[in-house]
Amino acid sequence: MIHAVEDSTRRLSVRLSHGRVINAISALLRQQLSVPHVYLKPRVPGSSGIDVLAVDRGGSGDVYGVQIVQLAILPTETGIRKWLAPLKALPVHYRYLAIQASADTLPTLRKLDQYEALFDSTGIGRIGILAYDERLLDPSAKVDSTLMSVIVQPERFRVRGEQLAKIERFLANAKPDMEVRI
């Protein structure tokens, strides 16, 4: 009977695994930004697929959006393009795609830095790739940013004023899930 309990605690549901990845990403962004306000699973009108939204209140007010992908094997180039399309439409300055990595898939993920589809068609902006270690999905692992790595550095996208207004309306009414108070 004890073995059955141990086996059931080794695997987390997809929902719990997703939450652990969100926590690790938020820890990483809190370290990178000066005065971060972090929103977990925000419901921004007209912007689906954002798992973590962060705003750096310590300067320019840049907005960061992260979409998480959980998968067992790496997809084809067509599959990656499918994930990139909604990210390119997000009205945020920095965009990340977070992908599960293992020792076997990490070399393939590192090759994505040469992937032209990460760039905006104007050349202004590049989607960043975050890799999260599959050990993060182990319930006994400590959730922190050490299990995350930036594979491809994002580059700032140009965001038009009317697009940014959608996010700003959300930010005006929503309370961050994590914030630094000054």
SS3 sequence of the chain: CHHHHHHHHHCCCHHHHHHHHHHHHHHHHHHHCCCEEEEECCCCCCCCCCCEEEEECCCCCCEEEEEEECCCCCCCHHHHHHHHHHHHHCCCCEEEEEEEECCCCHHHHHHHHHCHHHECCCCCCECEEEEEEHHHHCCCCCCCHHHEEEEECCECCCCCHHHHHHHHHHHHHCCCCEECCC
pLDDT tens by residue, 82-96: 888 888 888 999 999
- The encoded tokens of residue 92 equal 């945020």
Please tell us whether the domain made up of 12-179 is placed in CATH 3.40.1350.
Answer: yes
What's the full length of the chain, in residues? 182
pLDDT tens by residue, 95-153: 999 998 887 878 888 888 888 999 999 999 999 999 998 888 888 888 777 788 899 99
**Residue 5 confidence (pLDDT) above 70:** no
* pTM, rounded to two decimals: 0.86
pLDDT tens by residue, 43-72: 888 777 899 999 998 777 899 999 998 776
State the average pLDDT over residues 5-26. 76
Contact 6, 127 (CB under 8 A): no
CB count in 10 Å sphere of residue 85: 9
State the average pLDDT over residues 3-22. 70
Give the pLDDT of residue 42.
92
Site of tokens 């007010």? 61
**Residue 2 confidence (pLDDT) above 70:** no
Site of tokens 């990656």? 80
Give the pLDDT of residue 182.
61
